[in-house]
C-alpha cells in the first residue's frame, strides 16, 4: 500500500478502538489470517485500505491524506 506510511500521522497499528485516525491494509493487518480466496470472493483486493477518521482537526486530516495520496503516486 503505497499511501500507507506517506502521511504525518501514519502508524502501523491494528487497534481500531482509538480516537485517532487509522489507515490500514486489511488484507495484511486485520484480516491476514483469512484465506485469500475468501476476501477475493468478497471483492476485497490488495488495493483496499481501511480509513477510520478520528478526532483530529479536520484541516490536519485533509492535509495528511493529501500528502499520503500524493506520495503514493509520486514518480
- The CATH number for 44's domain is 3.90.1150.10
DSSP 42-69: TT--TT--EEE--SS-HHHHHHHHHHHH
Q: What is the reported pLDDT for 2? A: 47
Residue 43: how many CB atoms within 10 A of its CB? Answer: 7
Which portions of the chain are predicted below pLDDT 70?
Answer: 1-16, 75
Q: How many domains is the chain partitioned into structurally?
A: 1
Q: What is the reported pLDDT for 18? A: 75
Task: Please list the residues that pair with 23 across neighbouring strands.
Answer: 51
Whole-model pTM: value is 0.58
Domain range for 39: 1-75
Q: What is the reported pLDDT for 59? A: 95
Amino acid at each position: 500500500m503505497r499511501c500507507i506510511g506517506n502521511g504525518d500521522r501514519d502508524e502501523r497499528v491494528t487497534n481500531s478502538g482509538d480516537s485517532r485516525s487509522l489507515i490500514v491494509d486489511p488484507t495484511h493487518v486485520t484480516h491476514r489470517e483469512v484465506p485469500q480466496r475468501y476476501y477475493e470472493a468478497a471483492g476485497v483486493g490488495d488495493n483496499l485500505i481501511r480509513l477510520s477518521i478520528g478526532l483530529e482537526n479536520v484541516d490536519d486530516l485533509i492535509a495528511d491524506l493529501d500528502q499520503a495520496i500524493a506520495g503514493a503516486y509520486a514518480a
